[in-house]
Amino acid sequence: MALLECKHVYKAFDNRFILTDVNLTLPEGKIVGLLGKNGTGKSTLIKLINDLLTPTEGEILVKGLPVGVESKKMIAYLPERTYLDKNMTVEQVVGFFEDFYENFDSEKARKLLRELDLDPTQKMAKMSKGMQEKVQLVLVMSRKADLYILDEPLGGVDPATRDYILDTILTNFNEGASVLISTHLIQDIERILDEVIFIDKGKIICHEDCDTLRERENASIDEIFRRTFKC
């Protein structure tokens, strides 16, 4: 059974279609890049999978189940914005995740936070945006999920932090799980990807194994992306 299936998914706002007939199947144990220019529907697709948007048409299944309470237990989602309560301390946020997610490993989260030299008593509001994003990443990666969905995890961070983020993702995701990473910073993540999905104007134009694609096109994913999305 596929981990994630999108069947003929459409999403429209005010009769303008953002996603058109999206059909997608994600297997288990793969790191998949969801690549596309800004405003092509990457975040919309991710929000649909996470029940933050409702499809205009079509069906999304996670391990055969429709999006809902059960799918949310299986998906660990990192959005592109900071979503934690600013009035909470780091420790309280860890407690919050512990309360709501059965598959949350609080010891692992505390260990990762210690490595970041974060004061558990510090309030989220007192942290820089970058630090808040790191806390979010730690929380998401400390879940033993089946599917990790990371929306622009590298957006707006310096190269050193990008490396830290990628290492954290690579070394912490649950064995056998899949990771769906949305980004337009392909060069940075190319090395970790197993599969790529190119999305343009709300349609999936390519979903292929990275090595096969590189061999066939005799170019890196970054070069293929630039060629495909040339203005």
Partner 1 sequence: MLKKLLKYDLKSKLPFLCIFYALAIGCALLSRLFGLFSEVPMVNILSQFFAGATISMIFNILINLTLRSWALFRQNLYGDSSYLMHTLPVEKKTLYLSKALDGLITLIVSFGVIGLTLLIQYYGTALWTKAGLFLRLFSQGRPAMVATLLIGILFLEIANMFQCGFTGLILGHKMNRHKMGYSVLAGLGVYAAGSLFVFAVIGMMALFNDSIRQFFLSTQTQPVEMNDLWLLIALSSAAYAFLILAMYFLNVKWLKQGVNVD
Interaction pattern, residues 46-75, with partner 1; x per rule: CB under 8 A: -x--xxxxx-------------xxx-xx-x
**Cα–Cα distance measured from residue 67 to residue 209, given in angstroms and rounded to the nearest whole number:** 26
Nearest 10 degrees: Cα torsion 97, 103, 104, 108: 180
CB of 68 to partner 1, least distance (A): 8
Q: Which amino acid is at 209?
A: D
Which of 59, 85, 119, 215 is in the footprint of partner 1 by CB under 8 A? 85
Q: Is 121 in the site for partner 1 (CB under 8 A)?
A: no
CB of 214 to partner 1, least distance (A): 34
Is the CB of residue 168 less than 8 Å from the CB of residue 137?
Answer: yes
E strand or H helix at 127, and its extent? none
Interaction pattern, residues 1-30, with partner 1; x per rule: CB under 8 A: ------------xx----------------
How many Cα atoms within 13 Å fall on the side-chain side of residue 47? 14
Q: Is 167 in the site for partner 1 (CB under 8 A)?
A: no
Residue whose CB is less far from partner 1, 43 or 172: 43
Is the CB of residue 147 less than 8 Å from the CB of residue 62?
Answer: yes
Beta strands in 80-189, from DSSP E residues, in sequence order: 147-151, 178-183
Q: How many residues bind partner 1 (CB under 8 A)?
A: 26
Residue whose CB is less far from partner 1, 19 or 193: 19
Beta strands in 46-117, from DSSP E residues, in sequence order: 57-62, 65-66, 75-78
Chain residues binding partner 1 by CB under 8 A are 13-14, 47, 50-54, 68-70, 72-73, 75, 77, 79, 81-85, 87, 96, 99-101
